[in-house]
Amino acid sequence: MSAKNKPGSSMLWDEILKAIVDAMPEQLFPLFKELYGKEYPRGTPITLLATESSTYREHPDAPPGSRLSDIALLVNGTDYYHLECQMHNDQDMVIRMVAYDLHFAMQHTTSGEQNLDGLVMRFPRSAVIYPEKNNRIPDVLRCRIIFQDGSEHIYQVPTVRIQSYSLEEIQEKHLNLFLPYVLLRLRPRLNPKRKFPLTKNELTAFVDKVMIILKDEVEQGYLTEQEYDDYVNLFRRAAEKIFEKHADFRREVDRMTKPLIELPSVLQKRLIADNERLLANNEMLTADNEMLTADNEMLTVELADKNAELARMRSLLEQHHIPVNA
């Protein structure tokens, strides 16, 4: 990773994307549809791939090293994807993407063909995601590659500029993975010297729209209750970072999101689960009590039998005039 991942810089924004992909990778499907027109039904197999690759083949004489990309995955056993999260408009990003994709192709997609072409190396479908607004970011990153025989190829990957999507577009296209990042569009207005600094009422209205989108996604079946909770928690984490020097805004987001984490339906489910657990414990205690009662009854019967046998033996001894000790 580059310096972007140093603690205290933009590591959080990378980690949010990775957390979404780790916990609910199907949330990438709407993005793939948006970028490539590829649609996958819910339940399509997804395999997360290792993102570390060796740099030995680049510099065989150099000490062993490795390169760590952001996200790599295989969908439906056939389609490879590579995503990078980038905060700044780095002019060298396209070069790094070429290197990432070359190593990816070498590791995952190189195969022999039964023809004169020999080996075939297939690059993954790649994209660079930019969470923060930057008008200088192009629609695609391009690099003109000239081979030794004079042939040329234009390597290009699309960019995803999250802040160019309105909340309405995000909802319409089910691009929920953008939602933890939308507060970033408010950050420039945190400067009190701005002509129109952010107000608490504007923040409240904005957060309310985000919560409505998430709730609507649950009602339509695009999110589960657990995924809803995950998104709300990631949104809160983003707010903590963005408003770390603005306690009043941070408290407002906290106030609006904390109660929503336990909606009436969620509370009802939790109470039902607690009740079921108590019933299960009660049944276990009842079963234990029944076992103890049964054991006590058995001991009582055994004791009665032994007392009867003891009385019979005493009677026999007395009949033969044999002294009986107390």
Condensed to tens digits (0 to 9), the pLDDT of residues 77-106 reads: 999 999 999 988 888 899 999 999 998 888
Q: Which of 42-56, 223-237, 282-296, 311-325 has the highest mean pLDDT?
A: 223-237
> Does residue 37 sit within a domain?
yes
Q: How far apart are CA 239 and CA 192, in angstroms?
A: 18
> Does residue 142 sit within a domain?
yes
Number of domains in the chain: 1
* Nearest residue to 160 via CA among 170, 145, 150: 170
Q: Which residues contact 59 (CB under 8 A, 6 or more apart)?
A: 65
> Does residue 81 sit within a domain?
yes
**Strand blocks (E) in the chain:** 46-48, 52-54, 66-68, 71-75, 79-85, 111-112, 119-120, 125-130, 140-146, 152-161
> Does residue 292 sit within a domain?
no
Looking only at Cα atoms, what is the longest distance across the chain?
127
* Nearest residue to 70 via CA among 16, 31, 33: 16
Q: How far apart are CA 18 and CA 15, in angstroms?
A: 5
pTM of the model: 0.70
> Does residue 195 sit within a domain?
no
> Does residue 14 sit within a domain?
yes
> Does residue 22 sit within a domain?
yes
Asked if the model's pLDDT at residue 65 lies above 50, the reply is no
User: Taking the C-alpha atoms of 60, 96, 26 and 216 in order, what is their torsion angle to the nearest 10 degrees?
Assistant: 160
Query: pLDDT digit string (tens) for 147-171?
Result: 999 999 999 999 999 999 999 999 9
Q: Which residues contact 103 (CB under 8 A, 6 or more apart)?
A: 53, 54, 67
**Can you give the residue range of the structural domain that contains 93?**
8-112+119-164
Q: How far apart are CA 234 and CA 191, in angstroms?
A: 24
> Does residue 91 sit within a domain?
yes
Predicted local confidence at residue 268, as pLDDT: 65
Query: Which backbone phi and psi does 53 adopt, to 5 degrees?
Result: -135, 150
